[in-house]
Amino acid sequence: MENGRNLKMKRVVVESPYKGNIKLNEIFGEFCLHECLVVYNESPFASHLLYTRRYVLRDHVPADRKLGINAGFEWRDVSDYTVFYVDLGMTEGMQMGIDDCEEKGRGYSIRRMLDETWEEFLKACEENGLEKPERNIYKK
């Protein structure tokens, strides 16, 4: 059926950078969610884009950050797998996510945004007055 509406969606935890240039990383994360939904027929969850909202948790407060990370890791147990978007690099928090997957024996994949999505992301950066980032070549 059109747009995969009749197909079973996989539940995925999405990991992407957050710390640093937060505005840029939030836009990047939104494009990761978009790609999961539209391209891969996945039902994505990105705790770092939800729990960092203004009245939820404060990422700059260590206890709040730890609580948010732990809460996000709980979702991994009910997901089909985790996707790590590495176009902007691999952060400490993302590496903690890989470690969590490996400790729990949960599947994960390292993913780069499709070129078309990356170009749309760069346009959004420009529209938001942000400097266009360099695309990272991630090697494990």
Gap between the Cα atoms of 89 and 83, Å rounded: 14
Domain range list for the chain: 11-127
Instruction: Determine phi and psi for 91, rounding to 5 degrees.
Output: -90, 170
Using the predicted structure, report yes or no on whether residue 22 has a pLDDT greater than 50: yes
Tokens describing residue 65 = 């950050």
Are 110 and 140 spatial neighbours (Cβ–Cβ below 8 Å)? Answer: yes
Using the predicted structure, report yes or no on whether residue 1 has a pLDDT greater than 50: no
Can you say whether the dihedral through the CA atoms of 56, 84, 126, 21 is positive or negative? positive
Tokens describing residue 116 = 């078309």
Q: Is this structure's pTM higher than 0.85?
A: yes
Using the predicted structure, report yes or no on whether residue 3 has a pLDDT greater than 60: no
Other C-beta atoms closer than 10 Å to the C-beta of 123 total 11
Are 52 and 120 spatial neighbours (Cβ–Cβ below 8 Å)? Answer: no
